Structures are given as C-alpha cells and as structure tokens.
Amino acid sequence: MYHPRAEFNNNLPIISTQFKVYFFQPDACFYESPFDDRLKELEKQIELVKKDLQDTQSSGLIKALFIAPEYLFKDFSKSGKDRYFSAEQKNKFKESLMQLSKNTDLILVPGTICWQKNSKDNQKTYYRNMIYFVHQGAVMKYRKSNPHQNFDLEFSGGKLGQHVFFKKGHKDSNIITINGLTIGVEICLDNYKNQIMEANDITKIDAHIIVADKLPEVQFLPLSGTLTVKVERTPAYNTLIGINEKKHNEVKLQKVDTITPLTQHLQCYTFLEFKLKSENSQQIFKLL
C-alpha cells in the first residue's frame, strides 16, 4: 500500500503522491462498432482499471486517470452527420460513466463523444465534440473550441459557413478542478493553436491532458512539474506522457517510472512521486 508524503516549502504543504494514468487505445474496428457494443467494451476496460487500482489505492490519495483518445465515440462506419450520436445515446454514455465512477477514486476521462441535438430556439441541429471528466458521480465537461474543417465539420457536406452549427467551448472552460487536481484540457487542434495559454492562471495546473487524432506536435505548458498527457487515436502519431522540466525556455519530459500492460489496448503508466500544486496540496494535507 502506497502512502503519500507531506513536506513544507514556505510554510505551504507539498504533497508527493503516486500518480497512475491508464491509457485505453482500441484498434480501428472499435471505431466502426455499434454504439451499444462500443459502450460495453469501454465499461469492461474501466472495470479492469478499477480492479488494478484497488491494489495500490490508499484513502483516495493516489491520483489516477483513465484516459482515451479523441473520437472514441464517433461512428466511423458512417459518413457526414450520421457519424454523430444522438442526445439519447450521449445521455446513456454519461449515465454509464457516472455509475462506474461511484465506487472508485479513479477520474474517468474517456476520450470524446461526438453528438448532435436540435436547438429549442430555432430547430437547427447543432454538433459537439465533447469530453467528460467524471469522479464519484460528479460530471464536468469541455467542448472542442477549434473544429477541424475535415474531421469536425463533415456534417456540413462541405458547405462553407456551417461552422456556426458546431458548439464550441469558451474561454477558461478548459481548466477543470476535480478530485483535488487542476487539469488543463485541450482537444487536438485546440493544442495546435495553444488555446490554453489564454486561460487565467495556468500555473495552478497539475496535469495537461490532450486528446487527439493526428496532432503532429505538442505545445507544452511552460511549467516545470506539470504532468503532460497526450493520447492519440491514430497509431502513426505519437502518444506521450511525462512530467515537464523547463530549462532555458525549453520543455522536456521526465520519463515515467513504470509501464504495465493490462491488455493489448490498455496500459498503466505510473509516476512514483508526483508533487501536487500548493493550492491542491493544502486541501489534501488536511486528510493526512
């Protein structure tokens, strides 16, 4: 059983804790499977992670994320607007995550779901590419702010000006605090445009999460000690994970301590000592 350590810096507690990140990266067949089959497979993978986490969990103070790529729930067996799931399917997806999260300290970040809904105001159909963060029944969300012309606006049939029907995220919505972690989140092209740098007080971010499909390079936060996680849908593009180390205006990643494969498509990356930011540390220190 792992126990976090508390130290002090300028009278503020600095919590060193173990951090586990579970990557789920299914093969191409998954992205063409029916919604219900896809959801069952996701539920199966999350249950495997919950079981693995039980062996090292200590009073909820070991931080752990389950993360998957962009477009995890987008129907690549179809084309155009039919690739987007219905609001009813989106709600079923969310309800399943809420139930799975209730008896674990795991934070669920299961890639993005692409869905559509008619507006009550004008009866027009609007489309989203959205990611949920779920912990013990609590749900937070972020919508992609920078849609890709080919991959996010295919519902338009190539018509110009149809981007107005893509529901975007807004400024500061890509910083989320959940289970004592402050997380900066970007969906693919958001990171290419370095959108997170427009948010207020990025220095509080513990983990920078990027879910993507074909993002060639990463815009790192210029912060030492921040965990960077990029998970890709397309195998030809690199998935990466590490703790930022900033030296002379350059950011490099400190390597993960251990990598443990759980299944062919599920791996656990463990950092044995991760220092939480002081604001979150003060909350957790009270629990030690």
* Residue pLDDT, tens place only, 36-68: 999 999 999 999 999 999 877 654 468 999 999
**What topology does CATH give the domain 17-281?**
Nitrilase/N-carbamoyl-D-aminoacid amidohydrolase (3.60.110)
Structure tokens at 27: 């093969």
Q: Is 1 helix (H, G, I), strand (E, B) or coil?
A: coil
CA dihedral 73, 112, 267, 233 (to 10 degrees): 80
> What are the sequence ranges of the domains in the chain?
17-281
Quote the percentage of the chain above a pLDDT of 90: 62
* Residue pLDDT, tens place only, 148-170: 877 777 766 655 456 667 777 76
* Residue pLDDT, tens place only, 76-94: 999 988 999 999 999 999 9
Q: Residue 8: which of 245, 285, 273, 206 has the closest Cα?
A: 285
- Residue 199's CB is within 10 A of a number of other CB atoms, namely 15
